Structure 1
Amino acid sequence: MLSAVVTTFNNAATLEQCLASLAFCDDLLVLDSDSSDGTREIAMRHGARIFVEPFKGYSLQKQSAIDKAQHDWVLLLDADEFLVAGTAEKIRAELQAPRADGYRLPRQEWLFWRWPHPRTRATWQLRLFRRSVGAMNTVPVHAAPEVTGRVLDLDAPFRHFGEPEIAVRVSKVNQYSSGLVAYRQSRKRRFIGLRMVVYPAFVFLRFYFGKRYFLNGWAGFIAARVQGFYAFLKLAKQLEAERKESG
């Protein structure tokens, strides 16, 4: 028995496809942060159990939704994500005789105006797990579930709509990098200046060639550049915070 868990806030534009892809699950749960755009009406049409709670932060909100699941096995998606064709069958087959307590699934990212080339490397994320041995971590940015037990990769892809515009993506990495500064202030890094010079270029190359973003034309080049910029911002803002702290 499997519970699908989705948290939402004004996600009417993407929620329909998300919930439709989860129709095979035995329990469909939506935790909404008081949307005003028809999100809850869409969830009702898909027969979801709907809860409404103020947003408590990414990790706490996800954990609150997971705690409300009816079954031990949980499939966790964001409202702007959906399973691709064939993924439901792979998950059902695996859960007939589970080999692990959690599974990482490959996430394919929307690149501004296109889906990635089939040979672009996906980002594997833990999204299918037993909640009796799993919970959200408390990282302030990019919080994710963690499992005490065996975790395997399951080739059951899902897609993330992501940001449709470069400006939106840049705004988010600016916000995320600021959120990480306070979290990392207790762990000062050595050679932060050198890292700031070298590491962003490494991140760009890792995405552009290592993850094969070069197969996606200009969209892939821009996405890899933004990832490098994100790496730069995290280090630059940490350096700024340390200099201010030292006077």
Structure 2
Amino acid sequence: MTERLPLSAVLITLNCAGPLRATLESLSFCDEIVAVDSGSTDGTLELLAEFGVRVVSEAWRGFGPQKQFAIEQATHDWVLCVDSDEIVSADLRASILQALQQPGFHCYQFPRCNRFLGRYLKHGEGYPDLSLRLFDRRQARWSDDVVHEKVITLGNVGRLSGDLLHHSEDTIESYLAKQNRYTTLAAQALRAEGQTVSAFKLLGSPFFRFIKFYLLRAGFRDGVPGLIHILIGCFNSFAKYAKMIELTRR
């Protein structure tokens, strides 16, 4: 077998025992797994121990800062960043192993396939959802955003085949609760940047989001789950800007 560069899998955890086992099983090909935990009490720590994960405890800093702290704890410079509800597919695993034999890029992105209401979404807003998650940490870093964080790099970026499988929350209720938290954080971040909201943006953002993802990018081909997914996404756009207006008028 051709030698490859060593790889650290990195994730952040907080009370995520439910989907975590499948995630850890999919990372068995990595040379180490590092988890930064911010106070789990639901069995997450026991599950991490079962898989031999190296755990670092750290108070919550926000998504971007927490993930940056996490990659700094890794032993190896090449890191694969996943969330606790994401699974590396067999095809993606093969692509990663091949890329690390002789990397032609500093960073790699690949499609993320979102599972919603029991169905993997293959169109619209849910796919391909390209995510930059494999990189040389000397050439890239996570942004400081507390929500909607992203990897910032000045290096060159390649693309791998194979999907990162994202298992969304099990119920509509829990999914909406998570989206409610995210829209609040997004509104606070935009307000801190000094941005303002017009009536056109409040109403137009959800409308054009629906046109773009449901019609132009064929979200309708994902059936009822695709329709519900985009409608929640459109409401998220409305809620984010409505919360900004509320913050402005307080």
Mapping 1:92-107, distance limit 5 Å = 92-107=97-112
Equivalenced residue count is 243
Partner residue in 1 for 2:213:
207
Report how far residue 197 of structure 1 moved: 2.0
TM-score when normalising by structure 2: 0.89
Mapping 1:60-209, distance limit 5 Å = 60-117=65-122, 121-185=127-191, 186-189=193-196, 192-209=198-215
Paired amino acid for 2:167: F
Distance 1:168 1:210, change over 3 A: farther
Mapping 1:24-43, distance limit 5 Å = 24-43=29-48
Distance 1:131 1:92, change over 3 A: same
Report how far residue 90 of structure 1 moved: 0.7
Paired amino acid for 2:206: P
Report how far residue 56 of structure 1 moved: 2.4
Structure 1 unmatched runs, 5+: none
Q: Give CA deviations for 1:41-82 in whole Å, capped at 9, x if unaligned.
A: 222222222222222222222122100111111000011111
Q: Give CA deviations for 1:71-112 in whole Å, capped at 9, x if unaligned.
A: 111000011111112211110101112121111121111112
Structure 2 unmatched runs, 5+: 1-5
Partner residue in 2 for 1:13:
18
Instruction: State the identity %.
Output: 33
Distance 1:216 1:184, change over 3 A: same
The secondary structure found in structure 2 opposite 1:96 is coil
Whether the 8 Å CA contact 1:6–1:79 is kept in 2: the answer is yes
Paired amino acid for 1:131: R
Say what the alpha-carbon RMSD is for the aligned residues: 2.0
Task: Name the CA distance, whole Å, in 2 between partners of 1:195 and 1:130.
Answer: 38
Task: Name the CA distance, whole Å, in 2 between partners of 1:45 and 1:182.
Answer: 38
